[in-house]
Amino acid sequence: MQLVFATNNLNKLKEVQSLIPEHIKLVSLKDIGCFEDVPETQTTIEGNAIQKADYIKVRYGYDCFADDTGLEVEALNNDPGVYSARYAGEQRDANDNMDKLLLNLKDKTNRSAQFKTVIALHLNGKLETFTGLCKGEITKEKIGDHGFGYDPIFKPNGYSETFAQMDLKLKNEIGHRGKAVQLLIGFLNKL
């Protein structure tokens, strides 16, 4: 089976490739000649995942899946949420995003947060969605140099390390994207 993973984020691609079984061939947007930015204009994480999967299916005709992930911070009314990638502006800079978030939480005692990933799958004319959550808290400073995005300031519940301090295997086992991908794989394995 071949599936297009509708992302230009090479870090996401690497993470997901390490989870997908060998009998599923993962194809990138570059592999299908898609070099444009896939739209993400919906107001929910689920809506963005569906929009991206629809875009590839309609424009390129491939069975595919797309994900969208957001960091939801309780004390900030679940912001940055759907705007996580561009929280500090359209430049989509992870350090700027983390700096803005840490500044906005400066005087807050509640640092509870969760990462949420939704995967939308277009396969055989049907649309399915899979959701993975990882609850944790926002640290007061950036710690670690692995991972990407908000990983240096997110510490999952039950762990003393941020995602940026963990190896990829552990992050995939406990993380939001890994959980959503496991649900996707479980579904694909039943076909």
- Which sequence positions are flagged as catalytic? 68
96: tokens are 């700027």
End-to-end CA distance of the chain: 11
CA atoms of 92 and 127, how far apart (whole Å):
29
Query: At 102, which helix (H) or strand (E)?
Result: helix 94-104
List the one residue out of 177, 57, 32 whose CA is nearest residue 122.
57
List the one residue out of 71, 76, 65 whose CA is nearest residue 86.
71
